[in-house]
Amino acid sequence: MRSNAKIDPTNDRRWFHAISPKTYLWSAVLLIFLGILLFWLRERQDLLSSTDAHTLPRTARVADDISDSALSRTARRKSTGRTLPEGSITTHGPEQLKDFYLLECSGHRVSIQTALKLLDEAYQDACYFSLEKPLKLHYTVEGQSDQLISFSIKGKKWTDALDFIAILAGMEVKRDGLDVRLVPWDVEQKVAQVHLPESIREKMLQQLIDRGDWDAQAEKPDIAALLRLLGLVTDGVIIENADLVGVTIDGTNLEVSAVSAMFRMEIDTPMQLSIRSKLITSPTPLELPLGQLNQEASQVWFRELLQGEGVEINSAPSVTTRSGQKATIEVKQEAGDDWTGMQLDYTAEPIGLKLTASNLTEIRPMDEKLADQRAEAQYLVSDEGSQIKAIGHDAGGYYYQVTSISNAANRGGIRRDDIDTILNNPNRTNTFAEPVAQSVPGKPGFIFSPYTNQIVDVRDILPGTLVADPNFPSAEKKFFRVP
């Protein structure tokens, strides 16, 4: 008897055999391809949707979430080649941000929101490398602005960098503790003269070259083209003064302020740092204090150290250098193409609220039985602080190096030994014969050296005070009076 029931293919095992193994394989390949395509489309969408992502390098893209942000910070810090210094974490308050130094902060054609994110990243990096606990700053931008700004800031204070970024965007800063608000400026027409010497123009041009907006082999642009390429002046009229030192800008108060801010940022001279070094030789290993020592703790440690038998402490000549520049201390004797003695290479700079220095020390003993010593070290101290590092050891004992770093400007005025040098100078005829320095226009507290025409920081030094020009070594000191 024939049944009218229909066969359900899903329950019929023969239906599965109708699909060949080749079909399974191609289906798997198709699914993998679709997965890769969807992943690529999602990554592409994230990149395009980020603020200003189409105009920024990939490394400058602001992370979308906390995990991406942490990975980005880690990669960025590793790329600097800096190592995390030893010591304990310190804290600071909002009022100390005026003295807080950044390493580097830059952006090219970014919105003010992205610029503030880049600034905060630079602040977080400086905290990381200076062992400071970062503050949780809250940035707010009031009003809408579609203006894109470009900036490159190195070795400047957080407050100066913030003010500069705000001015470029036509805004001013309002701060209240951890809250940072940027509010629009009222635009008005203004005519003003701005001092722009050739040295400042060279730095401005180098910024364009560094970010790829100008060919280094091309003819230099005139000052008007330079200011427009930097985005400082858009519609205003720029007239170069007859003295070829300044320009007259007939535009808005925002354009005048932007050019003046660039001048202030570029004219600010690097910090003058004083570095002192001591070499300790001990017949036995020493137990070194961790982190840094202040002046009082350092003196106590040295007194205890000298009580040990066979311990020798030798001081190397001190050196004053500008932040970021290499300084060399040599105590050695030449022997043909070779030498014996000691050579210390330092590169120091402020970071956060501290001072840091990278050092390469090389010691070549006169006794050929003793081994040459070569050591690299990173130092991180507060102003006038010291750190002790082990260099190495040989048959002559164990070697340690003590490095102290201080802000030379904090010494203020003139030192007692400088006064003695003046009074004992046989060529001196008039106590008031030293020249009076000229003030830097628009930069209170800074003067041009009457000997080198370089800018010197004389803030907090009373007018009429006799000071030593920091551009000369101790043996060739030149003196001038603060105007």
| End-to-end alpha carbon distance in the chain | 124
The DSSP letter of residue 478 is: -
Main-chain phi, psi angles of 153, to 5 degrees: -125, 125
Q: pLDDT value at position 161?
A: 94
Say what the pTM is.
0.68
- Write the DSSP symbol of residue 179: E
Using CA atoms, how far apart are residues 114 and 137, in angstroms rounded to an integer? 15
Contact in structure between 430 and 448 (CB atoms under 8 Å): no
- Quote the pLDDT of residue 195: 81
* pLDDT in the model for residue 410: 66
CB atoms within 10 A of CB 83: 11
User: Distances from the Cα of 104 to the Cαs of 50, 81, 118, 157, 314, in angstroms?
Assistant: 22, 14, 10, 10, 37
What is the per-residue pLDDT for 24?
62
* Per-residue confidence in pLDDT tens, the chain, 483 aa: 444 444 444 444 444 445 566 666 677 777 777 777 766 666 555 444 433 333 333 233 333 444 456 677 777 887 777 888 888 899 999 999 999 999 999 998 899 999 999 999 999 999 999 999 999 999 999 987 678 888 989 899 999 999 999 999 989 999 999 999 999 988 899 998 888 888 888 888 988 898 888 998 999 999 899 999 888 898 899 998 877 678 899 999 888 888 888 888 777 778 889 898 989 999 999 999 888 998 888 888 888 888 888 898 888 888 888 888 898 888 888 877 788 888 999 999 999 999 999 999 998 988 888 889 999 999 999 998 999 999 999 888 999 999 999 988 765 443 434 434 433 444 433 333 568 888 887 777 888 888 777 778 787 676 767 777 777 765 566 778 788
**Exposure string over 272-307, b if 16+ CB within 10 A, otherwise e:** bbbbbbbbbbbeeeeeeeebbbeeeebeebbeebee
Which two structure tokens, joined as six digits, stand for 348?
């120091």
Measured between alpha carbons, how far is 451 from 460 in angstroms, rounded to an integer? 22
Q: What's residue 479's pLDDT?
A: 78
Spatial separation of the C-alpha atoms in residues 82 and 75, rounded to whole Å:
12
Measured distance CA(166)–CA(188) in Å, rounded: 17
Measured distance CA(381)–CA(236) in Å, rounded: 47
Cβ within 8 Å of residue 31, ≥6 positions away: none
Q: Which parts of 38-112 are beta strand (E)? A: 104-110
- Residues 262 and 163 sit within 8 Å (Cβ to Cβ): no
Per-residue burial over 15-27, b if 16 or more Cβ lie within 10 Å, else e, is eeeeeeeeeeeee
Please tell me the distance from the alpha carbon of residue 109 to that of residue 371, in angstroms, as a whole number. 55
Extract the tokens encoding 153.
């800031």
Look at residue 16 in the predicted model and tell me its pLDDT.
Answer: 42
Taking the mean position of all CA atoms in its chain, how far away is CA 221?
28
pLDDT at 447: 86
Task: Specify whether the CB–CB gap between 138 and 180 falls below 8 A.
Answer: yes
| 11-19 long-range Cβ contacts below 8 angstroms, 24+ apart | none
pLDDT of 135: 96
pLDDT at 99: 94
